[in-house]
Amino acid sequence: MNRRLSVAAAGAALASVATLIPAPAPAQPPPPWEEPVFDSELRVYGFRFDNFFQAPEGEAEEEVTLTRVEGRLSARPSEASAFELYTRGRFDSYSGDLDEAWAAGVGLQYDRRPAEADLYLEYEEDRPVFDVGDEFDRANVLRLAGEYGWRFADDWQVTGLAELARQEFDQTTGKDNDFLSGGAALRYRGWGYAFSPEIGAELGERDADDPNEDHDQRDLWLKVRSIPFERLYLSLRYRYRIRDYSIADSAASNFGREDDRRDWTLAADLRILEWLGVNAYVSYEDADSTKPSRVYETTLTGVGLTLGW
């Protein structure tokens, strides 16, 4: 009898323990495959330069128009991915006898608060250049640029910037050069999308085959971004640039030379439909220099259409 009670008690104990062990969950189906997300954009611009060749004060200025076609294709592994791989290209056609120019590049972006980053590699063919040798020329440019932003507080973001570029000229010797720059910007985001100001500074150095073209460069800027309503994006930037030429030979043409440049740039993008937008761009540059031939003013204006899908 006692043995029967012991067996019954043991059975009851095992049953009570069994109720504490969760039953195995039924097999779950594998998560559905997340397809990559692709986006593309095509922009067509018309630009007008009122003093394309940067003629100094007192000399005849020449107007040039430019038609630009830009394309961008991007891909993300999924809708929720913070990474985006993109490629973009540009084709420029100028009025008059000026040759066409083009550019192509590839980049990688990361965007997940509190960090955002962009790394970009670009090649430009036959880019118009005025600031090497102080005359119009064409250059092939290879550029690697990157930036990294960190939202270190709810209302503040700091961004580091860096760029390395190589310019090579086919027809003119001594102008080939390397340019290296780095800087930082501080942006206030406490007012949301309506008004977001930024202040920044950057230091650069150009090392050319001809030491007469070497210079140090300092940039200071103030920029404001605004989205006053959902479909309109505005940006306004003021930049002050100083270049000090470092040639030590007192007989060289750039000995003791200093250039100061101030420019204002206003850009606007209005999204009319989900796949259609219009764009406007205005830039004014006022250049001063200890070299009289590099004192000039120039304005660039442009309008365009953006198609996205």
Q: Say if strands 258-273 and 64-76 run parallel, antiparallel, or are unpaired.
A: unpaired
CA distance 108 to 155: 26
Contact 182, 150 (CB under 8 A): no
Q: Is 191 exposed, middle or buried (0-12, 13-18, 19+ CB in 10 A)?
A: exposed
- In this prediction, residue 17 carries a pLDDT of 36
CA distance 301 to 48: 5
**Nearest CA among 177, 92, 93, 171 for reference residue 137:** 171
End-to-end CA distance of the chain: 84
Residue 220 tokens, joined:
């200071």
Helix or strand (DSSP H, E) at 16:
helix 2-20
- In this prediction, residue 283 carries a pLDDT of 98
Number of residues written out for the chain: 309
Residue 205 tokens, joined:
């150095």
- The segments of the chain whose pLDDT lies below 50 read 1-25
Helix or strand (DSSP H, E) at 23:
none
- In this prediction, residue 131 carries a pLDDT of 86
Determine the 3-state secondary structure of 225 from DSSP: strand
Residue 32 tokens, joined:
């559905």
Residue 19 tokens, joined:
């109720």
- In this prediction, residue 29 carries a pLDDT of 55
The CA-atom distances, in angstroms, between 240 and each of 131, 157, 177, 179, 184 are: 16, 22, 23, 18, 15
**Peptide bond preceding 114 in cis form (omega within 30 of 0):** yes
What the chain holds in terms of domains, given with CATH numbers, is 37-308 (2.40.160.40)
The CA-atom distances, in angstroms, between 155 and each of 52, 191, 196, 198 are: 41, 8, 10, 12
The CA-atom distances, in angstroms, between 190 and each of 155, 162, 193, 225 are: 4, 26, 9, 13
- In this prediction, residue 19 carries a pLDDT of 41
pLDDT tens track for 222-251: 999 999 999 999 999 999 999 999 999 999
Helix or strand (DSSP H, E) at 15:
helix 2-20
pLDDT tens track for 270-308: 999 999 999 999 999 999 999 999 999 999 999 999 999
